Amino acid sequence: MSNASAARNLRAQIDQIQPMTRFVLATLAVASGVYTYLGVRSLLDGSATLVFFSAIIYSAAVSVGIYGFWSYLIRFVPEMRDAASRLVLMGVMALGCLMIVAMSSWLNAAALAGSAAVEQHLAETLEDYTGDLDQAHGNALGALSLLPDIQRASDRFARLADDERQSGALTGTSGSGSVVQLLTQMSAQMDELHATILNSRDTVSTLFEEGQQHLATMRGLVSAPGPVQPRSDRFAEEAVALAGVIASLEQTSIAPSVARAASDLSAGFIAPVADGSNAELAGRQDQVMATVRESVAAQSRALRIAAEEIMAQPQVAERRYVPLSAAEAVLRYASSFLPSWAGAISIDLLPAVLVGIMSVVYASIRRDEVVMSDAERLTAADLLRSLDVQRALVARQENARTDMPEPVPQPDSPAEEPSPGQNVTPLSLTERKRQEP
CB atoms under 10 Å from CB of 373, counted, come to 8
Q: How many residues does the chain have?
A: 437
- The rounded distance, in Å, linking the Cα atoms of 315 and 15 is 73
Name residues whose C-beta falls within 8 Å of residue 395's C-beta, 6 or more positions apart in sequence.
none
- Identify the three-state secondary structure at position 424: coil
- State residue 199 phi and psi, 5-degree precision: -65, -40
Q: Roughly what angle, to the nearest 10 degrees, separates helices 48-76 and 2-41?
A: 160
Name residues whose C-beta falls within 8 Å of residue 184's C-beta, 6 or more positions apart in sequence.
157, 158, 161
* pTM (2 d.p.): 0.64
CA dist 154 to 146, 159, 183, 198, 272, Å?
12, 8, 9, 15, 19
Which pLDDT does position 429 carry in this prediction?
Answer: 43
Which pLDDT does position 1 carry in this prediction?
Answer: 46
- The rounded distance, in Å, linking the Cα atoms of 141 and 195 is 14
Q: What tens-digit pLDDT sequence spans the chain (437 residues)?
A: 466 677 677 777 888 888 899 999 999 999 999 999 988 887 887 788 888 999 999 999 999 999 999 999 998 888 888 888 889 999 999 999 999 998 888 888 888 888 889 999 999 999 999 988 888 888 877 777 777 877 887 787 777 777 767 766 566 556 566 666 767 777 777 787 778 777 777 888 888 899 999 999 999 989 888 888 889 889 999 999 998 888 888 877 777 777 777 776 655 455 554 454 556 666 666 677 777 777 777 777 777 787 777 777 777 778 888 888 888 888 888 888 888 899 889 999 999 999 999 988 888 877 766 555 555 556 667 677 878 888 888 888 777 777 666 555 555 555 444 544 444 445 444 444 444 44
